[in-house]
Structures are given as structure tokens and as C-alpha cells.
Chains A and B, each alone.
Chain A
């Protein structure tokens, strides 16, 4: 009985969707208000087929979750938040249609399948937009979710297109659409050629998904295109791995570089180093928090502001630690380990008490989001910036150590304390500022690491062991060693990972470091000679 009613109901619904199909876009959009995900997909197909550019704002609003249906009459509106109420906008004309309380409206839900259909529909509908960039991204959208319905739209747009880049992209989009249409075999063969020339994984993906529905005679063409792409990818994969290694290495370098000063130069086994990194990340969070509440337009500058802030905050903390604890422990390196471990516990718990134990959100500025292609390499902006950032810190530090008066004093004190002090250098302050410098640099590293990792009280602990490995592997007291150590460990890790997995890869790297230290007990770039052991 129930089933009977259900089927009747379904039939009515089907009829309803059928009937609106003939009517205008307004009715189609209103029908979205009552449709479930599956029906909405059909409706979107019809809206797209209508090729009526007036529906674009409504579809965009749908994608952004701004499309609401009024509970009282089932009318669909684009909405904007307006205090506690929603400002209503007519989905087609764009005219204001008053306000309504939130409770009176229901948001139109959207899921991934719908988002896909929307992307394709919007792509098709905006191919003729006067804005070049919109056309370009429309062509992209069509390329990524090709559908036969879009084919004619693409071709129409292509005929009118004058911009070279957009035109090329549209050609590709057209080719992708051709593959999923019922065009003749020779057109498809040409399309395969075009797609094949794009290269990259996306092209393989398009070809593979189309291949199931293609005519058997085209199979060799598809295979040839794919194998051609794959052979060039194999080459690029190697480069990609090197890049990943360098980028991992630069993260290690960032984490280790402050330690290269406090541990490498001063000989303090600074277990609180990781916490300095963590505090630097929290400083970034605080800066962003202030910017969010008081000056949102500055958000893209947040990291630039956070760098000095983090440096000063962690540098100051480092200064306090050195004056309060470490200065009593010079010449007893193993005991600095214990004391700084204690410091790290206290810092961790303090941060936990202030900020809570959970992760804090640190946003990516727009210039650090997304990726770009370099040949066959896909390079993400945030990684690129981190590589650049860590290298500039490294070289900045190198110049500071080698060229500045402070660097000279620092080296003098670490090499021969008594001599330095008899030459009028205030060794105590040089010690304090050297430690502050190492801590400050750790803080800066925290700013960068906040972009790729959790900002939580545990952040520091996850880097401390790796940092020590890098410094020891590279050779204590040698900045270049730290650089080479970090990069080679990064690359090694990334070359091991694909074959043995991430876990075993990490274990192997550790074992290799242990064995390496046997061979060269003082690291990669150790100073040789008798002076060291004295």
C-alpha cells in the first residue's frame, strides 16, 4: 500500500519537474526550492540548457550557499545577511525584495555532485562573459567537468573568442566536451590529440574517464596519448620528488636553524627550542586575531607583521631564560639539557593554560594559497615561500655572523671566552643576546611553520628531535652543515617515502643518521684537528 502511494507521489513529482522544464528559468529556480539532490541535478541540467545568462547570479549564490527558499510560499531568493534578518534579492532580476527573518527561510542544501554540476553549468553560461578572466575560468571549469551539453556553448564562445590564451583553453575545453558527446570518430580523434598535448595528470584523467564510452577504434589513440603523457610525467616525477625533498628540507632547516645557534654555537642542549617555534606560531595567531578584529584589510600582511613580533616575543623569552637559568650552567652542557627540558614543560603548559589545548586557526594569506605549474612540476605557493623564507633567514644569519660587529663578538666569545672578555667584550651580554637571537629565529620559524602545521601546544615537540638530528648530522657549530644536513635529510626522506612508506622511511633515516655518526662522529662538516677536544 505504502509503496503504491510512494510511486504515485514519485510520478507526480516527475510530472512536476517535467512541466517546469517547459517553463521559464524563474520556475526552474523556484523548483530548486523543493527538489532533493537528485532532482536538483536534473533541474540544473535544464537551467544550463536554457543558456539564459540571467540565471548566473542565482547559480553562483547556490554554489556559495546564499540561495534560500521562503517557507511560506516556496519562493527562492538570493540572500545577503542583514543583521539578524536576511535581505532578499530576486534571483533573476537582481531586484531587492525586502527582508525576512532567518527563521522564515530555509537554505538550499548543496552537496558535491551538485557542486560539480553547478561548476559545469556556470562554466558553460559564463563562457561569453565580457570579462576575460571569467571566460578563462569558465573554460577551465568546462575542461574539468566536461559535458556534452556544454559543447555547443563552447563552440559558440570559441567562434567569438579573440584572446589567445582563452582561446587555447577553450579549444581544450571543446576537445574534452567532444569526447563526452556523440560527435563522429574523426572529431574525437582530433580531440584526443588536443587533450594529449595538454599533458599532466588532469589530461590522463580526462582521457581515462572518456575512454570507456569511446569507440573501440579510438582505443589505440587514447593509449598512445596516455603513454606519451606518462613518459614525460616519469621524468617530471623525479623533479617533483627533488622539489618535495627541498621543501621538506627547508622546513627542517627552519626548525633547526635557531638550534644551530643555541646548540651549535653556544653548546646549550636547548630542549626548549621547539617551544620557541611554538610560541612564534602563537604570535602569528595573535597577530592574525588582532588583524581579523580590527583591520581585516591587512590580512595579507599578517605574516609580514608577525615576523618581527614573533622575533621580539621569543627573543625576549630567550633572554629571560638565558639570564634566569642558562647562564649558571655554562660548561655543563648535559645539565642545560635538563634545565631547558624543564623550561619547555613550563612553556608548554603555560600556552595550554592561556590558549587552551586545542589547535588554533592560522590562515593562509592569499599569496600563499594554491599552486602553479612549472613545466610538469606542480609547486604550491606556500612551500615555495617557505623555501625562500628559510633560505633568506639562513643567509641573513650567515651575514650577521660573518660581517657584523655582533657576529664577530659572538664568535670571539664562543671561541675564547677569557680572551674576549679581556679585550673588553661584555661576554655575559653577548651570551644573552646570542641565545635571544637563536630563540628569536626559532620564533620566526614558527611563523612559517604555522602555515603548514597545527598551531597547538604540542607543535614544538614534533620538531625538536628532527632539529637535533639536522644539527648533529650537519656538524655542530657549522651553519653550512645545518643547511646541507637539512636539505639532504629532506631529499633522502622524500626519496625513501614512495618506496618504503612514510613510517619506515623515517625509521630508516634515523638509522642512517646513527650509522653516519659512527663514521663521522662530529657530523658532515666537522672541524678537524686537535683544538676541538681540548
Chain B
């Protein structure tokens, strides 16, 4: 009996803990939005900042009077860098806290983990990080860059402006680099680059001993053709990688490295003097010269009470996503998921690089691609800015997805329409 009571108590505690804790404090006239970013564990390093941005955006919006005359309330949870926990927390936010939309996730794994939850419970997720593409969900908005909004323009820049002919595609061994490198390889070969001029290299997460690989890059780069490294190396492994590059004396003038996962935040942990000239491709840099950006940075410094905090691309993506959602809700006059999903398509909001970004029917957005060179102060000097590019969810350079498109407007309402067969559902066999 003792045991029974205890087990019962445990179960009850479990249920209690997960049923709306926040509900008790929520006033009637607020609209709740969920913030689903890891605050502990390995991903906290990147995601904590995004949680702060969301809190700032909510605060700013409330100063402006909220949405639909109601105040916004952010419900913050910690999925602790644990992918199944992401799904659990998403479920909690949607079904217990009844949030109107969720802003969150960083890694593809976390997004993949919550995707079925959002589709099942019909809610909305704004995903603010660059990713490998090859996905389009009715319930997710991808405000980070798709490969064509980051990788391909960067490669173009190197080929055109720096005359690069030989390519090292170095990445951490996970899905984003694998896919991006597949796309890039297909793209480069379509541009006439020979297979022997492409070297692909993968390393484990958190790889810290780069001696051999940097030497290999040096070796590969001494074939007399201009060589560049396209890096999809993930967060933590970058610092030792760049340190090794600097120490082995690889200068940007000799072998430039263009990275897709290195932004202001990552550089903050580095002495960038030896890295000057290495590149990154994003849709936003803190150094963007636009009044809206200056305003944003000012707010950010005021909000965090730290004028050294940097801003970065995923923050801009969160900013765009949030504003697009606000605008869509006001247009729809409700936070009802289906209505918002309808009204958000075509919504244009200012982005931080001085233009506007539009939510496209494929749930990706338009934004310009910026190429920046690392400066000695840890910032990027923008050396090229393209006009706005539409995020392409299905790459044109992968054989199985080149025929696919996504359009969530009625009547098509399909995430994987095959233009060859004219049917929704991939190959449609």
C-alpha cells in the first residue's frame, strides 16, 4: 500500500508539474507565445541569445500596445539540448500553455523532433536558423537561410571575385553539412569544376585537434590553383579550427575560408587578428549600415544592459519571424492557427539590412545574401550584398528534389508538389 501511495504520488507530481504551471499566473487578456530554446546543455551556447531576443521583442511589442489590444506573454521552457525533450516541451507549450505560436529550435534534430508535434496539434513554429532545406511543413516557417540563400551565393562570390578554382568542403559530420556539401558539389560540378578539384572532409562534433586536417588543406591548396575552404563546421569546433589555421599561417589571402556557421557570436570567443579576411555568408551582419539595424542594436544593448553583446543572423531571423507573425495576426484579427497560416503568406516586414522580407508560399522568406570578411574587431566587413533571394526549400541541385516545389496557399496546399508528375507527395509513384 505504501508503494501504491508513493507511485500514485509520483504520477500526480508528474502530471502536476507538466500541467500548466504558467497557466496559474496567466492573466485572461494576454496572448501567449512559446520560446523553445535550450538554456542548458551543449546548445545553450547558441540558443540562450535567441531566448533573450524573443523576450526583448515581446517587451518592445508590449510597449507598442501588444497585439490585437492584448499584451503578449512569453512562456520560456528549457528543452536542455535533449531532442526528445524538445518534443515534450513543444507539446506542453501547445496543449497545456495554449500558446498561439512558438519561436524556437536551433539544430535540425530539434526541429525534426518537434515537427510532428506541430503538425499534429496544428500550431505554428518559427525556426530562425540557417538549415539544409529539403523540408516544408504547413506549420513551420523557416526564417533562417536555405542553402541557396547562403551557400551558393558565397561560392559564387569566391569563384567570381577571388578566382577560386579548387574547393575544400569541410564540415562537421551531420545532416546540414552533408546536405549542403552535396548541393555545393553538384552546383560546382555544374559550373565545370572537376571532381579532383573538390575535397570533402568531415569531422566529429566538438573536434578540437585540427592539425592533420589543416595540413591536408594546405596540401590540397598547393596544387597551383586558387583554393578556398567552404566550412560548415559546427559551432564549438570552429574556435580550435581557426586557431590552428592562424597558427599554421594560412592567411585569407592564400586560402580563404568561407563559413556558414560562424557569426559575430562565435567570433566573440576568438582573437580575430590573424583571421582578418576570412569570410562568412549570412543574411545579416551586425555591421550592416542601416538605421533600422542601428536602432535594433541600441535596443539590444539596452535590453541586455551590456553594450558589448553582439547581434547576429539568427537574431535577425527571429526578429523577422516575430514581426511577420504579429503582422499576420493583426491582419487575421485572431491568433487562430489556420487563419494566421492564411494571412501570413505574402506579409512583408522590414529586415535589419534595410530592405524588407516577405513570407513566401513555401514558408520561407526573401532576404538578401551578404558576404562579409572578418575584421580584427570581431565584426564583419560586408564585401558583397545581393538583391533579395527567395529561400528555396527543395534544392535544384539534388536529383530527387529538383522537381519538387512547395506552396501552402489553397488550393495547392502542398509541401512537396512534384511538377513533373503534377501530383502532391514527392515522387508520387
Question: Taking beta carbons and an 8 Å cutoff, which residues of A are in contact with B?
Answer: 37, 65, 109-113, 115-116, 119, 144-145, 201-202, 204-205, 207-212, 240-241, 244, 247-248, 251, 349, 352, 356-361, 363-364, 369-371, 378, 380-383, 451-458, 461-462, 493-494, 497-498, 501-503, 506
Judge whether B85 is part of the interface by a CB distance below 8 angstroms: no
Q: Is the CB of A357 within 8 A of B224?
A: no
Q: Is the CB of B240 within 8 A of A497?
A: no
Q: Is the CB of B224 within 8 A of A359?
A: no
How distant is B34 from chain A, measured CB to nearest CB, in Å? 20
Q: Please indicate the chain A residues that have their CB under 8 angstroms from the CB of B270 in the complex.
A: 359, 361
Q: Is the CB of B253 within 8 A of A201?
A: no
Bits for B345-356, please: 1 = Cβ < 8 Å to A, else 0: 000000000000
Q: Please indicate the chain A residues that have their CB under 8 angstroms from the CB of B279 in the complex.
A: 112
Q: Please provide the chain B residues from 189 to 244 with a CB less than 8 Å away from any CB of chain A in the complex.
A: 201-204, 206-209, 211-213, 215-216, 218-219, 221-225, 236, 239-240, 243-244
Tell me which of A211, A248, A369, A382 contacts B224 (CB under 8 A).
A211
Q: Please indicate the chain A residues that have their CB under 8 angstroms from the CB of B49 in the complex.
A: 358
Residue of B nearest to A451 (CB): B243
Q: How far is the CA of A451 from the CA of B246 in the complex (A)?
A: 12
Q: How far is the CA of A152 from the CA of B397 in the complex (A)?
A: 49
Q: Is the CB of A503 within 8 A of B236?
A: no
Q: Is the CB of B243 within 8 A of A452?
A: yes
Known A119-B253, A369-B246, A454-B240; contact A503-B204, beta-carbon cutoff 8 A: yes
How distant is A469 from chain B, measured CB to nearest CB, in Å? 15
With a 10 A CB-CB cut-off, give which of A202, A454, A502, A506 has the most chain B CB atoms: A454
Q: Is the CB of A109 within 8 A of B204?
A: no
10 additional A-B residue pairs with CB within 8 Å, beyond A212-B224, A361-B269? A37-B161, A109-B381, A110-B381, A112-B277, A113-B162, A358-B269, A378-B215, A456-B236, A457-B44, A502-B204
Residue of B nearest to A244 (CB): B211
Tell me which of B42, B222, B243, B249 contacts A458 (CB under 8 A).
B42
Q: Is the CB of B265 within 8 A of A358?
A: yes
How many of chain B's residues have a CB under 8 angstroms from any CB in A? 58
Q: Is the CB of B224 within 8 A of A383?
A: no
With a 10 A CB-CB cut-off, give which of B223, B239, B381 has the most chain A CB atoms: B239
How distant is A60 from chain B, measured CB to nearest CB, in Å? 14
Q: Please provide the chain B residues from 86 to 135 with a CB less than 8 Å away from any CB of chain A in the complex.
A: none
How distant is A382 from chain B, measured CB to nearest CB, in Å? 6
Tell me which of A204, A241, A359, A364 contacts B268 (CB under 8 A).
A359
Q: Is the CB of B222 within 8 A of A205?
A: yes
Known A119-B253, A358-B49, A380-B248; contact A456-B224, beta-carbon cutoff 8 A: no
Q: Please indicate the chain B residues that have their CB under 8 angstroms from the CB of A207 in the complex.
A: 224
Known A240-B215, A357-B44; contact A452-B222, beta-carbon cutoff 8 A: no
How distant is A118 from chain B, measured CB to nearest CB, in Å? 9
Known A352-B40, A452-B243, A502-B203; contact A494-B249, beta-carbon cutoff 8 A: no
Known A115-B277, A209-B225, A370-B247; contact A455-B269, beta-carbon cutoff 8 A: yes
Q: How far is the CA of A212 from the CA of B381 in the complex (A)?
A: 34
Q: Is the interface of A mostly helix, strand, loop or mixed?
A: helix
Q: Please indicate the chain A residues that have their CB under 8 angstroms from the CB of B376 in the complex.
A: 65
Known A112-B256, A115-B253, A503-B204; contact A454-B269, beta-carbon cutoff 8 A: yes
Q: List 15 A-B contacts (CB under 8 A).
A: A65-B375, A112-B373, A205-B221, A357-B45, A359-B45, A359-B266, A361-B271, A364-B247, A369-B246, A369-B274, A452-B240, A454-B236, A458-B45, A462-B208, A502-B212
Residue of B nearest to A38 (CB): B161
Q: Is the CB of B254 within 8 A of A144?
A: yes
Known A369-B247, A502-B204; contact A247-B211, beta-carbon cutoff 8 A: yes
Q: Is the CB of A456 within 8 A of B240?
A: no
Judge whether B383 is part of the interface by a CB distance below 8 angstroms: yes
How distant is B353 from chain A, measured CB to nearest CB, in Å? 17
Bits for B253-290, please: 1 = Cβ < 8 Å to A, else 0: 11010000000011011110010010100000000000
Q: Please indicate the chain A residues that have their CB under 8 angstroms from the CB of B239 in the complex.
A: 359, 453-454
Count of CB-CB pairs between chains A and B under 8 Å = 158
Q: How far is the CA of A380 from the CA of B376 in the complex (A)?
A: 22
How distant is B305 from chain A, measured CB to nearest CB, in Å? 13
Q: How far is the CA of A497 from the CA of B211 in the complex (A)?
A: 11
Q: How far is the CA of A494 from the CA of B221 in the complex (A)?
A: 21
Q: How far is the CA of A189 from the CA of B42 in the complex (A)?
A: 57
Q: How far is the CA of A291 from the CA of B364 in the complex (A)?
A: 47
Known A207-B224, A506-B204; contact A378-B274, beta-carbon cutoff 8 A: no
Q: Is the CB of A208 within 8 A of B243?
A: no
Q: Is the CB of A112 within 8 A of B225?
A: no
Q: How far is the CA of A498 from the CA of B217 in the complex (A)?
A: 12
Q: Please provide the chain B residues from 129 to 182 with a CB less than 8 Å away from any CB of chain A in the complex.
A: 161-163, 173
Judge whether B183 is part of the interface by a CB distance below 8 angstroms: no
Known A109-B381, A112-B253, A494-B212; contact A371-B277, beta-carbon cutoff 8 A: no
Q: Is the CB of A112 within 8 A of B162?
A: yes
Q: How far is the CA of A139 from the CA of B293 in the complex (A)?
A: 44
Q: Please indicate the chain A residues that have their CB under 8 angstroms from the CB of B265 in the complex.
A: 358
Q: How far is the CA of A244 from the CA of B42 in the complex (A)?
A: 28
**Among all A-B residue pairs, the 6 with the closest Cβ atoms:** A208-B224, A359-B269, A209-B224, A205-B222, A380-B247, A201-B222
Q: How far is the CA of A201 from the CA of B221 in the complex (A)?
A: 9
Q: Is the CB of A360 within 8 A of B206?
A: no
Q: How far is the CA of A297 from the CA of B279 in the complex (A)?
A: 31
How distant is A201 from chain B, measured CB to nearest CB, in Å? 4
Judge whether B390 is part of the interface by a CB distance below 8 angstroms: no
Judge whether B252 is part of the interface by a CB distance below 8 angstroms: yes
Residue of B nearest to A345 (CB): B40
How distant is B291 from chain A, measured CB to nearest CB, in Å? 13
Q: How far is the CA of A311 from the CA of B211 in the complex (A)?
A: 28
How distant is B107 from chain A, measured CB to nearest CB, in Å? 15
Q: How far is the CA of A455 from the CA of B240 in the complex (A)?
A: 10
Judge whether B386 is part of the interface by a CB distance below 8 angstroms: no
Known A112-B373, A501-B202, A506-B204; contact A363-B271, beta-carbon cutoff 8 A: yes
Q: Please indicate the chain B residues that have their CB under 8 angstroms from the CB of A462 in the complex.
A: 206, 208, 236
Q: Please provide the chain B residues from 292 to 311 with a CB less than 8 Å away from any CB of chain A in the complex.
A: none
Q: Please indicate the chain B residues that have their CB under 8 angstroms from the CB of A497 in the complex.
A: 212
Q: Please indicate the chain A residues that have their CB under 8 angstroms from the CB of B203 in the complex.
A: 502-503
Known A248-B211, A357-B45, A358-B268; contact A371-B247, beta-carbon cutoff 8 A: yes
Q: Is the CB of B161 within 8 A of A111?
A: yes
Tell me which of A201, A208, A241 contacts B218 (CB under 8 A).
A201
Q: Please indicate the chain B residues that have their CB under 8 angstroms from the CB of A457 in the complex.
A: 44-45
Known A113-B161, A356-B48, A456-B269; contact A210-B277, beta-carbon cutoff 8 A: no
Tell me which of A201, A360, A494, A503 contacts B269 (CB under 8 A).
A360
How distant is A274 from chain B, measured CB to nearest CB, in Å? 12
Q: Is the CB of A502 within 8 A of B45?
A: no
Q: Please indicate the chain A residues that have their CB under 8 angstroms from the CB of B373 in the complex.
A: 111-112
How distant is B130 from chain A, measured CB to nearest CB, in Å? 18
Bits for B14-43, please: 1 = Cβ < 8 Å to A, else 0: 000000000000000000000000011010
How distant is B106 from chain A, measured CB to nearest CB, in Å? 12
Q: How far is the CA of A249 from the CA of B279 in the complex (A)?
A: 32
How distant is B221 from chain A, measured CB to nearest CB, in Å? 7
Q: Is the CB of A453 within 8 A of B240?
A: yes
Q: Is the CB of B202 within 8 A of A502?
A: yes
Q: How far is the CA of A115 from the CA of B256 in the complex (A)?
A: 12
